[in-house]
Amino acid sequence: MKQPVERFAAYRQALAAKVHASGVKHGKTLEAIATVPRHAFMDPGLHAQAYEDTALPIGHEQTISKPSVVARMIELMHKPRHPLGKVLEIGTGCGYQAAVLSLLADEVYSIERIRPLHDLARAKLRPFRINNLRLIYGDGILGLPQAAPFDGIILAAAGLGIPDALLDQLAIGGRLVAPVAKNEKEQQLVMVERMSSQRYQRTVLDGVFFVPLQSGVV
């Protein structure tokens, strides 16, 4: 990734410290949070809030997730002593999480179903000249079978369950991290590890709040 403008360097370091204080311990994830300029992925009117640990609107009824939640999910996707090879992100949004992932995985594929957001992310990411990131306009619920299997899959939207297509596209030994809705008001972070071709281990974690996972493209 081309180095970001250093004017915001102190803010990025402070944000990484906040994320660390929230409980994230994975060093490389914290380094990535301290490197990617979050303000570059939102409207100028929100730049003053860019380095707070909070979700912010990006248009089209979508949000840029809290940095601590982004980092927590990425931390969970890492297996100890196993580098991330190929990662699939469902819900590109404005492109911030994809940029963070590009510093941590060999290859990142990111799918967005809302065309204006896909175009926005492409425009926001272009100045960084990220060579290991591919943006796809499509239905994330279907995954990306042509690039599977994936060592990690991360969802930036909450469904009532995890789509079978995504579980099928997870490599054996790989991890999928997703928010899952218990009901209309409650969501939980879930980590699924594929143990074999037929066996998955599911761990239910923190309470979270994400926009709904939807099918189709718009």
Task: State the Cα–Cα distance between residues 74 and 58, nearest whole angstrom.
Answer: 21
Percent of the chain with pLDDT over 90: 91
89-111 pLDDT, tens digit each: 999 999 999 999 999 999 999 99
Please give the pLDDT value at position 1. 61
Give me 190's structure tokens: 């879930």
Between 82 and 96, where is the model more confident?
96
Least confident range of 78-87, 96-105, 187-196: 78-87
65 is catalytic: yes
Indicate which residue of 22, 65, 68, 197 is catalytic: 65
Please give the pLDDT value at position 86. 98
Whose tokens are 């941590």? That residue is 104
Please give the pLDDT value at position 165. 98
Q: Who contacts 89 (Cβ-Cβ below 8 Å, separation ≥6)? A: 97, 98, 101, 108, 109, 110, 111, 153, 154, 156
In the structure, what pLDDT confidence band is assigned to residue 58 with cuts at 50, 70 and 90? very high
Give me 77's structure tokens: 């996707």
Peptide bond into 163 cis (omega under 30): no
Task: State the Cα–Cα distance between residues 168 and 67, nearest whole angstrom.
Answer: 28
Given a cut of 70, is residue 2 above it in pLDDT?
no
Task: State the Cα–Cα distance between residues 119 and 137, nearest whole angstrom.
Answer: 9
In the structure, what pLDDT confidence band is assigned to residue 112 with cuts at 50, 70 and 90? very high
146 exposure class (CB count in 10 Å sphere: 0-12, 13-18, 19+): exposed
Would you say the C-alpha torsion 122, 125, 130, 133 has a positive or negative sign? negative
Question: What are the structural domains of the chain?
Answer: 54-208 (3.40.50.150)
Average confidence (pLDDT) over 39-60? 95
Per-residue b/e over 175-210, b at no fewer than 16 CB within 10 Å? bbbbbbbeeeeebebbbbbbeeeeeeeeeeeeebeb
122-178 pLDDT, tens digit each: 999 999 999 999 999 999 999 999 999 999 999 999 999 999 999 999 999 999 999
Please give the pLDDT value at position 102. 98
Judge contact between 53 and 4, C-beta under 8 A: no
In the structure, what pLDDT confidence band is assigned to residue 202 with cuts at 50, 70 and 90? very high
In the structure, what pLDDT confidence band is assigned to residue 83 with cuts at 50, 70 and 90? confident
Rounded to whole angstroms, what are the CA distances from 114 to 26, 70, 99, 121? Answer: 31, 20, 18, 11
Task: State the Cα–Cα distance between residues 174 and 167, nearest whole angstrom.
Answer: 10
The pTM (predicted TM-score) of the whole model is 0.94
What is the longest distance spanned by two Cα atoms in the chain?
50
Compute the radius of gyration of the chain from its Cα atoms.
Answer: 16
Please give the pLDDT value at position 6. 64
Strands 62-64 vs 170-181: parallel, antiparallel or unpaired: unpaired
